Amino acid sequence: MLPAINRTMSAPEWAMLLILSVLWGGSFFFTQVALDAVPPFTLVSLRVGLAALILNVVVLLSGLEMPREARAWTAFLGMGLLNNAVPFCLIVWGQTHIASGLAAILNATTPLFTVVAAQLLTADERMTGNRIAGVLVGLTGVAVMVGPAALAGLGADLMAQVAILGAALSYACAGIFGRRFQRMGVPPLATAAGQVTASTLLLLPLALVADRPWTMPVPSAPAWGAIVGIAALSTALAYVLYFRILATAGATNLLLVTFLIPITAILLGAVVLGERLDPRHWVGMALIGCGLAAIDGRLWAFGRRRRRLPPEVYQGQDI
């Protein structure tokens, strides 16, 4: 019997979610360095290709076996399409027309799409009032953190904005789609390896046609370091955590990472690059924290239990 999906995440699941947000937040640093030497589609292909090499070696060394049946590899291709190929390409194209701040806000709609998709497509991740409220509060926090200037382009370049929203919808559908690997008995490590392997097969032809990478100069050592970093940490390790969280916490909880990524990216900028934190950053983080608390539901449940208990229960107790 499969374990139930946790509506309220445990402490280890929250810890993995925070680590995942750091890995994906750090990808912005790697990408910024790598894009100076490598075009976007080539970078995306190298990212998933090197991650596939790393994860398949780890699978081999760990004694696991990759699934061989057609059903599993069809699912890997579907997951690679929804979670990598489609959103990566849409985001790359969209960010050539709109500011990254606006793209971050639009991408943060992923949990909202996930709540709706989970309501329509699952039986154990139903839409609740606190989840909707939490998603809206978290989305507001992202907008506040990125700043009002990012909204200046809202309404212009409509197709680019639709592309980023399409990427968010694709991520949401991937979260729902990826739940099937647990039912199929595929462990998270093998699932991560299968997804990035399938993604490589989908994205490599696009990079060869669009970028013609053999015509470009060899990237510098810092660029290669960034490419290895984004492949090994922000992709290979990140997707092992992704599928481990998805198996127990569910798609809605997993994709809360979209709210955490701006926080970790900004904090990394402050710690590593010495960037200054403005008051709006702290306000945005507080709003995101409130949104996550509402979606998790633990504080609401505690408040309801406390209101139901008579006052004498609390006498002599440190609550």
Read off the pLDDT of residues 118-162 as tens digits, 9 standing for 90 and up: 888 777 667 677 777 877 887 788 778 767 766 666 666 788 888
User: SS3 for 228-296, per residue?
Assistant: HHHHHHHHHHHHHHHHHHHHHHCHHHHCCHHHHHHHHHHHHHHHHCCCCCCHHHHHHHHHHHHHHHHHH
**CB distance 210 to 25 below 8 Å:** no
Residues whose CB falls within 8 Å of the CB of residue 125, separated by 6 or more in sequence, listed in order: 5, 7, 118, 119, 250, 251, 252
Count up the domains in the chain and report the number. Answer: 1
pTM of structure: 0.79
- Residue 154 main-chain phi, psi, to 5 deg: -65, 125
Q: Two tokens at 288? A: 């995101």
Is the residue at 50 inside a domain?
yes
Distances (CA, A) of 188 to 71, 123, 182, 192: 17, 22, 8, 6
**CB distance 16 to 246 below 8 Å:** no
pLDDT grade for 247, boundaries at 50, 70 and 90: confident
Read off the pLDDT of residues 69-120 as tens digits, 9 standing for 90 and up: 999 999 999 999 999 989 888 887 887 777 666 777 778 788 888 888 888 8
**CB distance 151 to 105 below 8 Å:** yes
Supply the range of the domain harboring residue 168: 11-304
Residues whose CB falls within 8 Å of the CB of residue 205, separated by 6 or more in sequence, listed in order: none
Is the residue at 276 inside a domain?
yes
Q: Two tokens at 60? A: 């081999």
- Residue 156 main-chain phi, psi, to 5 deg: -90, 160
Under DSSP, the state recorded for 315 is: T
**CB distance 105 to 146 below 8 Å:** yes
Read off the pLDDT of residues 229-241 as tens digits, 9 standing for 90 and up: 999 999 999 999 9
Distances (CA, A) of 119 to 115, 202, 246, 252: 6, 30, 16, 10
Is the residue at 76 inside a domain?
yes
Is the residue at 1 inside a domain?
no
Q: Two tokens at 253? A: 């909880």
Is the residue at 309 inside a domain?
no
Q: Two tokens at 130? A: 């606190």
Q: What is d(CA 134, CA 297) in angstroms, rounded to the nearest whole number?
A: 9
- The amino acid present at 179, given as its one-letter code, is R
Is the residue at 5 inside a domain?
no
Q: What is d(CA 264, CA 21) in angstroms, rounded to the nearest whole number?
A: 7
Is the residue at 319 inside a domain?
no
Is the residue at 315 inside a domain?
no
Read off the pLDDT of residues 297-318 as tens digits, 9 standing for 90 and up: 655 555 555 555 555 544 544 4
C-alpha torsion 238→243→248→252, nearest 10: 80
Q: What is d(CA 91, CA 80) in angstroms, rounded to the nearest whole number?
A: 15
